[in-house]
């Protein structure tokens, strides 16, 4: 049955207002706001509405994010080794950091989700929010070029960049945890991948960290190494709270 033109017009107005609100929250003035729409379309919404999802945008945004952060810390940290810079970048661009940055301006509230994903709280899921964050970077890059993307990234990740640059472990929480707990024959730290989530192309791993055989914390990541680092970070925070 053909949808009345009035309903289509009303739906279009709702979408335009939704995108304007999202652009305001994101803090970027688009010349082509359809790029933002594309960046906010999760696969679940795309399947229900027969539109393109944001996974290609996420792919591009991931690359733009990497070059922006790499260039930034390369010039600021002139005396650091390649290994230090790699660890620092990994700490800045990991899923948890991106989700944390996105939460500050409420990105999850603006992601277009399917009914089921929305019902189960997909807008608060770090994997979905961090992917959308990268897709937004791509939308800004396509709309305004690399300098516009650089300005936005460095602004919204300023806290994460500062934290990574000022931390002696540069995001290597596994080493920091080992040094924190190891005393003689005590403090034996081990890790175990306890679950895998999502489809193959967006796999997330869940790792648990054990200290002397006792489970201390767990963490999620896009790779097994990232999941272990997040588990170690959570363990350090837990130990600090106990002190």
Known catalytic residues are 62, 134
Q: Which of 134, 160, 152 is nearest to 54 (CA)?
A: 134
CB crowding 108-124: b at 16 or more within 10 Å, else e: bebbbbbeebeeeebbe
CB crowding 67-98: b at 16 or more within 10 Å, else e: ebbbebbeeeeeebeeebbbbbbbbbbbbbbb
**Tokens coding 76:** 């600021």
- Quote the radius of gyration of the chain (alpha carbons, Å): 20
**What DSSP element (H or E) covers 218?**
strand 214-221
Distance CA 241, CA 76 (A): 32
Beta-strand pair 204-211/189-197: antiparallel
Helix and strand element counts for the chain (H, E): 12, 3
Q: What DSSP line would sit under 136-165, residue for residue?
A: HHHHHHHHH-HHHHHHHHHHHTHHHHHHHH
Distance CA 204, CA 218 (A): 13
């Amino acid at each position: 049955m053909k949808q009345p033109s009035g309903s289509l017009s009303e739906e279009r107005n709702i979408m335009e207002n939704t995108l304007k609100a999202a652009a305001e929250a994101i803090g970027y003035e688009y010349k082509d706001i359809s790029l933002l729409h594309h960046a906010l379309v999760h696969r679940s919404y795309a399947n229900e509405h027969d539109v393109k999802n944001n996974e290609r945008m996420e792919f591009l945004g991931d690359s733009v994010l990497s070059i922006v952060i790499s260039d930034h810390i390369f010039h600021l940290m002139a005396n650091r080794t390649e290994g230090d810079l790699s660890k620092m970048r990994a700490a800045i661009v990991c899923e948890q950091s991106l989700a944390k940055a996105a939460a500050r301006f409420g990105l999850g509230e603006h992601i277009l989700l399917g009914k089921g994903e929305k019902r189960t709280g997909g807008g608060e899921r770090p994997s979905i929010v961090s992917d959308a964050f990268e897709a937004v970077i791509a939308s800004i890059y396509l709309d305004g070029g690399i300098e516009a993307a650089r300005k936005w990234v460095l602004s919204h990740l300023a806290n994460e960049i500062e934290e990574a640059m000022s931390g002696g472990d540069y995001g290597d929480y596994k080493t920091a945890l080992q040094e924190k707990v190891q005393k003689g024959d005590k403090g034996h730290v081990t890790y175990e991948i306890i679950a895998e989530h999502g489809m193959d192309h967006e796999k997330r791993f869940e790792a648990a960290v054990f200290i002397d055989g006792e489970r201390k914390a767990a963490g999620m990541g896009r790779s097994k190494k990232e999941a272990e680092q997040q588990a170690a970070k959570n363990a350090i925070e837990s130990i600090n709270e106990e002190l």
